[in-house]
Amino acid sequence: MFRILLVKDIDSAPDLEEKLRRHGFSVDVATDLKDARKTEHDLILIYTTPQRVGAWGPGDTGIPLMYLIDFEDEGNLVLTCPYGCIEKPVDDDDLKSCIDFLMSRIILGEERYKKLFEYIDSCVAVYEAVDDGEDFVIRDFNRAAERIERVNKEEIIGRRVTEVFPGVDDFGLLDVLRRVYRTGRAEHFPIAFYSDDRISGWKENFVYRLPSGEVVAVYRDLTERKQLEDELKEKERLYRSIFENTGSATTIVDEDTTILMANREFERLSGYSREEIEGKKSWREFLADEDLKRMEEYYHLWLKDPDAVPRIYNFRFRDRHGNIKYIRMNADRIPGTTMTVASLVDVTDIREAEEEIRRSLREKEVLLREIHHRVKNNLQIISSLLNLQLSRIGDEELRKIVRESQGRIKAMAMIHEHLYQSESLERVNFREYVEKLVGDIIISHGVSVRKDLEIEDMELDLDTAIPLGLLINELVTNSIKYAFPDGRGTITIGMRRADGSVELVVADDGVGLPEDIDPSSTDTLGLKLVSLLTKQLNGEMTLEVDNGTKFTIVFRERDE
């Protein structure tokens, strides 16, 4: 390993030794040269200023020495070798190139560095000019160069560079070799692509002339790095294309809330250009005042525990012109970073359409309530007309028929009354309805019959509630009229759900019906109605007449 003694006369580059170590050099740090004779370093590197460089003599160390002079006011570093000026801050690649050059100069000038010449990672080629500097013969080639160029040194020594590497002229290196040979000034030949029938790849060269007149090229094969860079650029292009064409306004936000990247859709949404947004604006600036505090609370909680907050947010967005837009945002952290990617969709039109639908539904709800109210009122008017007619009817049997019709009308009117008074316009709370219906029937007949209701809480739609209400009205009225000659007794009504069906039981403890009665074939209108209404519900009815009368009706609930 190449050993460097770094003598630091100033401290303006505290990471210099670390940069050298990263490139595989062994680095010791000192502040003077008093112990240099006792060391076995390959190079002494003195980091100083122009004003103090004269204070450092080469001394009698027997070790090659060079200066790294820091021109603090000009912002440059100058290395005391033909490579020349390095811009500050110290770039790793530039520093490595300078050290490679110095190593090459030392190596080629002194035999004791011959092994190092063979084993360093950088490629080194030594050329001798022929044809008055128009072409060059290869005089030496280290192992790294043999490996990269896929040649055997013994087979190419003494051959022309244009013969071994026929693409050297098109590559541009031949012109550099000619200039350096003629001027003596070292040149850096930037990364370029070399190609011939045998090999190809990206190379970066540093070329200088030795006092002997030989020209040295120290170079690196950067093909893998260039391929990796190209792959990264292609992936960046792909990701950028995805970022730009997600169909939504997308941003990448830093932990301090600064927007680092914004796509075209976000430009359209916000009214700002990308140059005005990226690195300059915080997402806070786009939130409406009413939602800012809530979103900041979410954000602070998210910093502590990302799983404790939702990933989808709804808020009001303020654009450049002060227009408020309703936004739905999906946000998530980019793995391995402190950045967040946020996708924003403008749902203003959808929200306005939803509000229009809600407004329309409210209007229809008001209208439907009014319809139920008017149906109830019309049924009550019919009942009142029948009541007026009763005053003109002398036949008691006919009067009884009219009153029964009034009861049926009232049972239907009560359904509509419950509907327009309830929150739902489609379903009736049937327990409340039955309690009121049975109570009104008992009161209207002026009897002392007790009611025992065992009804589960359930809501039924209008098509089920009306026939079922009429059915209960007929059975309860029939019990009051015929089951209790003395006007006393108990009517029990039970209703429950079981396995997708509803079971209704209406029973009394009165004198009971004859055992041979058939509700479907009887001459009485009430029992005929019970049979017809059961069929309308697609139900089944059973009758028991022991110790009173018990009707059981089972029907399937209607599908929603």
Average pLDDT (322-341) is: 88
CA distance 199 to 167: 9
Rounded Cα distance, 560 and 558, in Å: 6
Q: Maximum CA pair distance of the chain? A: 148
Burial class for 503, CB neighbours closer than 10 Å (0-12, 13-18, 19+): middle
| Percent of all residues in the chain with a pLDDT value above 90, rounded to a whole number | 27
pLDDT of residue 71: 54
Asked if pLDDT for residue 83 goes beyond 50, the answer is: no
> What pLDDT shows up at residue 496?
92
Give the pLDDT confidence score for residue 323 in this predicted structure: 92
Q: How confident is the model over 261-317, as pLDDT tens digits? A: 999 999 999 999 999 999 999 999 999 999 999 898 888 888 888 788 888 889 999
Contact 182, 209 (CB under 8 A): no
Least confident of 71-80, 151-160, 215-224, 320-329: 71-80
What per-residue string of b and e applies to 368-406 under the rule 16 or more CB within 10 Å gives b?
ebeebeebbeebeeebeeeeeeeeeeeeeeeeeeeebeb
Strands (E), 9-50: 26-30, 43-48
Cα 390 from Cα 398, distance rounded (Å) = 9
CB within 8 Å of 99: residues ≥ 6 apart: 2, 4, 20, 23, 25
Question: Looking at residues 125-154, what average pLDDT do you find?
Answer: 93
CA distance 510 to 370: 42
Domains and their CATH numbers in the chain: 3-115 (3.40.50.2300), 121-226 (3.30.450.20), 253-263+270-351 (3.30.450.20), 393-555 (3.30.565.10)
For residues 409 and 362, the model is more confident at 409
pLDDT digits (tens, 9 = 90+) for 227-246: 888 888 888 888 888 888 88
Model pLDDT for residues 494-553, shown as the tens digit of each residue: 999 888 899 999 999 988 776 666 666 666 667 788 888 888 889 999 988 888 899 999
Q: What is the rounded distance in angstroms from the CA atom of residue 312 to the CA atom of residue 293?
A: 17
Give kind and range of the element (H or E) at residue 551: strand 549-556
pLDDT category, 469, cuts 50, 70, 90? confident
What pLDDT is stored for residue 162 in this prediction?
95
| Sign, CA torsion 9/13/14/15 | negative
What band does 443 get if pLDDT is binned at 50, 70 and 90?
confident
Which is nearest to 557 in space by CA: 430, 434, 432, 445? 430
Backbone dihedral region for residue 381 (phi beyond 0: left; psi -120 to 50: alpha; all else: beta):
alpha
Judge whether residue 177 has pLDDT over 70: yes
Which residues 6+ apart lie within 8 Å of 354 measured at CB? none
pTM for this entry: 0.41
Q: What was the pLDDT predicted at 445?
A: 78
- Please tell me the predicted confidence (pLDDT) of residue 120: 67
525 versus 247: the higher-pLDDT residue is: 247
